[in-house]
Structure 1
C-alpha cells in the first residue's frame, strides 16, 4: 500500500473525468446527512485531503488523519487554518471520545483485508463520534475489478494476468497488485458491508452506489465537456443508486451510518 501511494498519484486522481464523477457524487451523498457548519469533521484516511479542503472551504473544522507522510505534507502545504492534519491509523485514532460531529471513512476499508481490522476501524469511528453523528463509509464494489478495471479501463491489454485474478477476487474480495507497486485492496459485497457496520454497533441509515454503470474512458471524457451529457450521467447514477439489484454495479459504494 505504501509503495503505491508514495508514487503521488492520489493527489490528482479526482481531477479527471472519472474521478470528477466520483468526487461530485460523493460530495452530494455526504451533504445529505452532514450537520451544518460550523462543525467538526474527522477525515480519517483522507489521503492528500481533497475532501478536507472542500469541507474547510464550506466552514467546517477538519481533523485529517492519514498513514502516508506524503499525503500529510501535500495537505499541510496548502496551509488552510481549519484543517488539522497528522499521521494516524484508522484502527487507532488519536482523537478523544465523542469529539467530532461527523466522520469520513472514504478509504480505510479499501486496504484492510482482515474483517477484524475493518470492524475495529468502524468501532473507532463510532468512538470518536458524538451521539447520532453521521459516519460516511466508502467501499470498493466486489465487481469493480471486472466492470471498471476490465470492461472500462481494459487493464488486461497491458496486464494480461489481470483476467486470471478475477475469479479469486470475486470469491474472497482481496485484490492483489498486478504490477510492481500497484494498487492492492479489498472489495465488498453490499450485504457484507452492511453486516460489518451492524457488527460494529452502528445503525445503517443508507447504502448507495456512487458512480452507476462504469463507462469507457473516451465516453467519460466526451461527457465531461458537455454540460447536458454530464448532468445525464449524474442523474442516471442518482436514479439507480439504491436499486438492490444494481448496487454492485457502481465501482464505489457509500454507506451512511450513525452512532445511535
Structure 2
C-alpha cells in the first residue's frame, strides 16, 4: 500500500490541496477543525502525533494553537513539506508500527490511515498502536470515509450510470472501493463500523460524528464561486445531524473520538 500511496500523492500534487480546491474539501477542513477543537482541552502545549498527517494541513493549525505536533507519514514528499511548518516535526513512518514510546503522547490523529489500510487486520494494528502510545486519558481521533460518498457524488454530478452501478453496489455492500472516482483503492466505512473498530482496540466509549453533513454534494455542484454564499448553511446542516443515526452516513467523512482508559 505504501508504494501506491507514494505514487498517487507524488503525482497528484500535495495532499493539502484536496482540502482547498473543492467546495466539499473546504467544508471538511472547517468541520474537522471545529470538531477537534471541541474535544481538546483549553490548555495549550499538548503533544500531538499526527499519523498519516500528509503535508501537515492539520498539524499547521494545531501548532499555531500552541500544541507540539509531530507528523508521521509514509510519503517522503509529505514529510519534507510538514517539517517546514513552524512548530511541526516530521518523519517517515507506518501507522502500524510507530516509533513513539508507550504512554508518551496526549493526542493521536489517524486522519488517513484507516481508509488507506484495506485489510481489517492492518486497521486493527494502526488503532492498537495509537492506543499504545497515548497516555491514560489521551485522545484518539480517527477518520473514515463514508461508503455512500461515491453514491451521493455520482448521483449529484450526473456520473451515476449503468457502468458505475456495479462498483457502487460493491462499495455499499462491502466497503471495498476500487478507485472509480480517481482515488487509490481504499476501505470506506459506515459510522457503526468505524466505532466498532475503535472499541476493539480498547476504548469503551467512542463518539462518531458525520463531518460534512448531507449538504456537501450540493456545494460541489454549485461550484467554488458559490461556496462563501452556501457554506454557513452547510455548516449548520452538518451540526444539526452530526450524530443523527438516520443521516450520519450521508457525510463524506466521519470523525471518531475516544479517550484511553484512566488507571
TM-score, scaled relative to structure 1: 0.90
Shift of 1:240: 0.6
Question: Match of 1:167?
Answer: 169
Residue 136 of structure 2 aligns to a residue whose secondary structure is: coil
Please say if 1:176 is aligned against 2:183. Answer: no
Conservation of the 8 A alpha-carbon contact between 1:190 and 1:248 = yes
For residues 4-58 of structure 1, what are the alpha-carbon distances to aligned partners after superposition, in whole Å with 9 as ceiling and x for unaligned?
A: 2121242311113221100000011101111321111010001111001111111
Residue 113 of structure 1 aligns to a residue whose secondary structure is: coil
Residue 39 of structure 2 aligns to a residue whose secondary structure is: coil
Conservation of the 8 A alpha-carbon contact between 1:101 and 1:134 = yes
Conservation of the 8 A alpha-carbon contact between 1:39 and 1:101 = yes
Aligned length: 252
Question: Match of 1:189?
Answer: 190
Distance between the aligned counterparts of 2:134 and 2:113, measured in 1? 17
Q: Which runs of 5+ in 1 are unaligned?
A: none
Q: After the TM superposition, which residues 33-72 of structure 1 pair with which residues of structure 2 at under 5 Å, given as runs? A: 33-35=39-41, 36-72=43-79
Q: 1:42 and 1:70, CA in 2 relative to 1: closer, same or farther beyond 3 A?
A: same
Distance between the aligned counterparts of 1:208 and 1:238, measured in 2? 9
Q: 1:156 and 1:90, CA in 2 relative to 1: closer, same or farther beyond 3 A?
A: same
Shift of 1:73: 1.7
Conservation of the 8 A alpha-carbon contact between 1:204 and 1:255 = no
Which of the numbers 134, 140, 148 marks the counterpart of 1:143?
148
Shift of 1:70: 1.3
Which of the numbers 116, 137, 150 marks the counterpart of 1:111?
116
Distance between the aligned counterparts of 2:244 and 2:173, measured in 1? 23
Question: Match of 1:5?
Answer: 9
Please say if 1:219 is aligned against 2:260. Answer: no
Distance between the aligned counterparts of 1:113 and 1:201, measured in 2? 21
For residues 69-124 of structure 1, what are the alpha-carbon distances to aligned partners after superposition, in whole Å with 9 as ceiling and x for unaligned?
A: 11112222x342x2110001001011011111111111100111111111111111
> Could you say what the CA RMSD is over the residues aligned between the two structures, in angstroms?
1.8
Residue 89 of structure 1 aligns to a residue whose secondary structure is: coil
TM-score, scaled relative to structure 2: 0.89
Shift of 1:153: 4.5
Residue 133 of structure 1 aligns to a residue whose secondary structure is: strand
Q: 1:74 and 1:166, CA in 2 relative to 1: closer, same or farther beyond 3 A?
A: same
Shift of 1:151: 2.2
Question: Match of 1:27?
Answer: 33
Distance between the aligned counterparts of 1:182 and 1:147, measured in 2? 16
